[in-house]
Chains A and B, each alone.
Chain A
Amino acid sequence: MSASTLIIQAGGAGASDPVVVGAGEEPQPGGATNGIGYFARFGVTEAMIGEALGAALSRGGDYADVFFQHRVSNDLALEDGAVNRAFASVELGVGVRVVKGDQTGYGYSEDLSLAALRTCALTAAAIADGPSRGAPQRFHVAGRLPQRYPLRVRWEDIRPEQKLPILDAVNARVFAADPRVKKVSVHFRDESGAVLLADSQGRIVEDLQPMTLLYVSCLAEQNGLREQGGYNVAGRAGFEFYAPDRVDRVVREAVARTTILFEAAPPPAGEMPVVLAAGSSGILLHEAIGHGMEADFNRKNVSIYADKIGKPIARPFVNIVDDATNENARGAINVDDEGNEAGRTQLVENGVLATYLHDSISARHYGVAPTGNGRRQGYQFAPMPRMRSTYMLPGPHKKDEIIASVKKGIYCQNFTNGQVNIGAGDFTFYVKNGYLIEDGKLTRPIKDVNIIGNGPKALEMVDMVSDDLQIDEGGWTCGKDGQSVPVSQGLPTVRVSSMTVGGRGKG
């Protein structure tokens, strides 16, 4: 229940999936703007927001904000050789939040009329019980916002006929790559999102947030056995994201990651050194330290990292950041969902625990500036501290040197999901592909093994860090307290001197 999860976003083509269609009012992706631009089309005005904030503070809340959202997503899916289904969804709604100390009141609606806004505001206002406070009637913007997902080609300008050939080509090329391939499914998603945040301090900001994802799943047969694997790429980007080299990689990786499973077996069970490949192994950071550093858990005194700021927790060459600024990354944001500036936050600096990830409530609690980590799944939810793109900076070692240093252990390359218990610190990640390391060399492929460790212990045991940082391009989604948000992660090649590998038999 307290556990937070991370999964790779699989493009399941089930009929329950929301699907996509042009909805006439698609956002124009392309970053942040000042004041009411996009939402004017829904009749949203500053006067209306002022009135809603007045109602929100009518019982004496300390702070209130209004969050409007419009998100249009379109999915095309290929199965059994044809793009024979599409899914589309439109989400439109508004949430009103009132904060009193650490306490939150929240109301939301799909109806953007003034009457509906007032009802939401009065619902949220009930968290406080005191004399009314004034709300701003004029709103200002906080200066120039960054443009971290500039679009060369906007989704609303792309017709289905332009997307369909990508799915068909990927399908044909995956089949052509290996005769063992028997089933291929391809899922293509584009999303045009817009948010508007205005608050009782008079701030107002809009951001237009695109997203796209291409997921390929591949089923192969060999000697009567079957294996399934896949690959996916995701980013806050437009149609230009699908450059030939990226599509090539999707095809190549989907086939390679599937067919190698026929040679693979689970590794032995027990404690052993674990080498994490550069890239999606950043899942280690997400689970071992990222969630534990979200300040709400620390404010509530339930994180294993509570009271550890300023203390050494890893070797001096370990530096970990959570970064909103990586251009076109799935975890990139121009501004967080509370209107706060979102930059790069150093979690661990030269092995010392530096900063928690804050939203406004926790920042006020700790008397520090917000770090731009206040995020929400959508208008139905109050924000809370969440990761963006979490990765470790390059270190002093070399990949070859790290692998050569291990007498007997495993090398982990690809992952499907992870989870953590925030307080006990135990965390897991599930390894889909990797290799045994024997006498300093990669030998037999491994598959389908869960690895479990304890956050602070595992960080202490990170004893080699390579110089080959990669940010993964996969479609990761982080779940916490019932809210899902897109994230990114990365890692250079890293050695953890010992973790428990959920394999089989004795090594």
Chain B
Amino acid sequence: MAPNDSMLVIAQDAIAFARKKGANEAAAGAYRVRNVEVQWRDGKIEKVSEATTRGLGLELYVEGRYSSVSTSDLRLEAVQRFVEDAVALTRKLAADPHRALPDPSLYEGQAKVDLDLEDPRYGEVDALRRRKIAEDMEAAARSVKGAQAILSVTTGFGDTMAESFRATSNGFVGARRVTDFGMSAQVSVKDPDGRRPEDWDAASARHFAALPSPEEVGRNAAARALSRIGSRKGESALFAMAVENRSAGRLLGFLMGPLAASALQQKRSFLDGKMGQQIASAKLDLADDPLVPRGLGSRLFDSEGIAARHFPVFEKGMLRSYYVDNYYGRKLGMRPTTRGMSNLAWKLGDRGPDALLADMKEGFLVTGFLGGNSNGTTGDFSLGAQGFRVRGGKVAEVIGEMNVSGNHLELWQRLAAVGNDPYPYSASKTPTLVFEGVQFAGV
């Protein structure tokens, strides 16, 4: 990327100005994002939106004090006044001995690989193409068996080109340019009892060519929505639970969040003090994997400039690593790993969802969570759920308006199987997960 890009220059100038005004150290990030979206509904365009936006963020270290500021007002005099005010504010705060830029040694060792995060054909997707994809998704949705029950189809296509730059006063300079393409279809159908159940399908990718066909997404969304007709509550009891790959990310997020050093340092993590312990059954085996070509979470360096590396998080159910950022790492006396998850790489099972259900025999297949929450301090969780009853190893009646509850320290010990089907359109790449003995609440 051009070393003289105007946004990088803005970032570097802001650092220089901050230092002139009294900052001892500073880091700046600047971005330029072009975003285009079309939304299509029931035979015509519902909304188109298009813009190129810019912004600047600055972290200031002034006499042992810290603040972080951002602005979208990039007029030179406005930026200068903003930085000057920010430095003055920072002086009013309490000193914090743990605040400093990352040690420059952490910037070193960036992988020499091309992550291929920018689609060279980005500019070829034009307004007509976006519209055609959105239109084709609707047509496909309306072509499935039972489509006469469809009330409305909303589809969308969007693409983004995001350029970001980071510079620090202790020598880091980084640039990154990525493309994103996303498509979605949402279908509402008429239930004879008056309800209008909905479901969706979606996909996103760094490269346009990696998207599925509009027909596949449209048909899936319609079939899923139609399958929701007639849903009822199931019984309140302990059951085996299979979680569909695309929904498993929500459940996994509640396990990953408490791995953050900020949660550990603030004693708000049920995984505090559990390093090296068996947190889950041996089936849970995953690593943070930042260097996957075209990965949705791929990066050569994290948001603090720390060089990205592959590291194990859970090995055979044992906790192997926390997510340690620079600041909380200093507070805890731990070496930083990275700030925030990149991609996950799973040790996958050898069977797909159908075979997993056949093994499970009795229980529930969860195809969506609705609301609910998890207490990161204790691990207690309670989540709304919908999906299907599984009987005799096969998908049976459709269920809704149910809850699942438990504690993560028990739930993951009962992880009985991991599918071979990582969900491709997310950075966490979750496969189907099967748990035994989960509390369901319904009737």
CA distance A395 to B287 in the complex (A): 56
Kindly name the residue among B54, B66, B401, B440 whose own CB sees the greatest number of chain A CB atoms within 10 A: B401
Instruction: Give the residues in chain B near A301, CB-CB below 8 Å.
Output: 151-152, 188, 196
A505–B439 CB distance below 8 A: yes
Given contacts A109-B51, A424-B231, 7 further A-B pairs with CB under 8 A are A2-B186, A21-B86, A105-B49, A109-B53, A183-B266, A219-B266, A228-B377
Chain A, interface residues (CB within 8 Å), range: 35 or more
Let me know if A135 is at the binding interface, CB within 8 A: no
- Decide: A86 near B90, CB < 8 A? Known: A19-B68, A430-B371: yes
- Decide: A502 near B151, CB < 8 A? Known: A89-B70, A448-B380: no
**Interface pairs (22), CB distance under 8 Å:** A19-B69, A22-B85, A24-B82, A86-B93, A88-B89, A106-B50, A107-B49, A110-B73, A161-B92, A226-B378, A227-B378, A228-B268, A228-B376, A302-B188, A419-B384, A428-B372, A447-B380, A452-B401, A454-B401, A500-B443, A503-B405, A503-B441
Q: Which chain A residues numbered 1 to 59 have a C-beta less than 8 Å away from chain B?
A: 1-3, 5, 14-25
Instruction: Give the residues in chain A near B303, CB-CB below 8 Å.
Output: 16
Return the CB mask of A418-438 against B: 1 if under 8 Å, else 0.
111111111111100000000
Instruction: Give the residues in chain A near B68, CB-CB below 8 Å.
Output: 15, 17-19, 85-87
Segment with Cβ contacts to A, from B40-48, B106-114, B132-140, B358-366: B40-48
Instruction: Give the residues in chain A near B54, CB-CB below 8 Å.
Output: 110
Let me know if A120 is at the binding interface, CB within 8 A: yes
Kindly name the residue among A306, A417, A448, A503 whose own CB sees the greatest number of chain B CB atoms within 10 A: A448
With both beta carbons as reference points, the residue of chain B lying nearest to A105 in the complex is identified as B48
Q: How far is the CB of B413 from chain A (nearest CB, A)?
A: 16
Let me know if B312 is at the binding interface, CB within 8 A: no
Q: Which chain B residues numbered 306 to 331 have a C-beta less than 8 Å away from chain A?
A: 325, 327, 331
- Decide: A502 near B383, CB < 8 A? Known: A92-B72, A110-B73, A185-B266: yes
Return the CB mask of A119-162 against B: 1 if under 8 Å, else 0.
01001001100000000000000000000000000000000110
Let me know if B417 is at the binding interface, CB within 8 A: no
B71–A89 CB distance below 8 A: yes
Let me know if A249 is at the binding interface, CB within 8 A: no
Instruction: Give the residues in chain B near A269, CB-CB below 8 Å.
Output: 236, 403, 405, 439-441
CA distance A418 to B384 in the complex (A): 10
With both beta carbons as reference points, the residue of chain A lying nearest to B191 in the complex is identified as A424
With both beta carbons as reference points, the residue of chain A lying nearest to B99 in the complex is identified as A84
B96–A84 CB distance below 8 A: yes
B439–A504 CB distance below 8 A: yes
Chain B, interface residues (CB within 8 Å), range: 35 or more
Instruction: Give the residues in chain A near B96, CB-CB below 8 Å.
Output: 82, 84-85
- Interface residues of A, Cβ cutoff 8 Å to B: 1-3, 5, 14-25, 74, 76, 79-80, 82-93, 102-110, 120, 123, 126-127, 160-161, 164, 182-183, 185, 219, 221, 225-228, 266, 269-271, 300-304, 306, 380, 382, 416-430, 447-454, 500-506
With both beta carbons as reference points, the residue of chain B lying nearest to A456 in the complex is identified as B194
- Decide: A380 near B53, CB < 8 A? Known: A83-B93, A106-B48: yes
A86–B67 CB distance below 8 A: yes
B197–A424 CB distance below 8 A: yes
Q: How far is the CB of A228 from chain B (nearest CB, A)?
A: 4
Q: How far is the CB of B362 from chain A (nearest CB, A)?
A: 18
B375–A120 CB distance below 8 A: no
Instruction: Give the residues in chain B near A126, CB-CB below 8 Å.
Output: 48, 127
Instruction: Give the residues in chain A near B382, CB-CB below 8 Å.
Output: 266, 430, 448-450, 502-503
Return the CB mask of B385-406 against A: 1 if under 8 Å, else 0.
0100000000000001111111
Q: How far is the CB of A145 from chain B (nearest CB, A)?
A: 26
CA distance A430 to B371 in the complex (A): 8
A450–B47 CB distance below 8 A: no
B69–A88 CB distance below 8 A: yes
CA distance A228 to B186 in the complex (A): 38
Instruction: Give the residues in chain B near A306, CB-CB below 8 Å.
Output: 196
CA distance A424 to B73 in the complex (A): 43
- Decide: A452 near B69, CB < 8 A? Known: A418-B371, A423-B197: no
CA distance A282 to B197 in the complex (A): 24
B71–A90 CB distance below 8 A: yes
Instruction: Give the residues in chain A near B372, CB-CB below 8 Å.
Output: 419, 428, 430, 450, 502
Return the CB mask of B178-215 against A: 1 if under 8 Å, else 0.
00000010101001001111101010000000000000
A21–B371 CB distance below 8 A: no
CA distance A127 to B73 in the complex (A): 28
B400–A449 CB distance below 8 A: no
A300–B51 CB distance below 8 A: no
Q: Which chain B residues numbered 220 to 264 have a C-beta less than 8 Å away from chain A?
A: 228, 231, 233, 236, 262
B195–A110 CB distance below 8 A: no
Return the CB mask of B407-443 against A: 1 if under 8 Å, else 0.
0000000000000000000000000000000011111
B47–A382 CB distance below 8 A: yes
A428–B370 CB distance below 8 A: yes
CA distance A227 to B50 in the complex (A): 46
Instruction: Give the residues in chain B near A183, CB-CB below 8 Å.
Output: 266-268
Instruction: Give the residues in chain A near B66, CB-CB below 8 Å.
Output: 84-86
B266–A21 CB distance below 8 A: no
B81–A23 CB distance below 8 A: yes
A2–B200 CB distance below 8 A: yes
Q: State which of A105, A109, A300, A500 has its C-beta within 8 Å of the C-beta of B403.
A: A500
Instruction: Give the residues in chain A near B25, CB-CB below 8 Å.
Output: none
B373–A430 CB distance below 8 A: yes
With both beta carbons as reference points, the residue of chain B lying nearest to A225 in the complex is identified as B378
Q: How far is the CB of A307 from chain B (nearest CB, A)?
A: 9
CA distance A504 to B236 in the complex (A): 9
B69–A270 CB distance below 8 A: no
Let me know if B9 is at the binding interface, CB within 8 A: no
CA distance A425 to B231 in the complex (A): 12
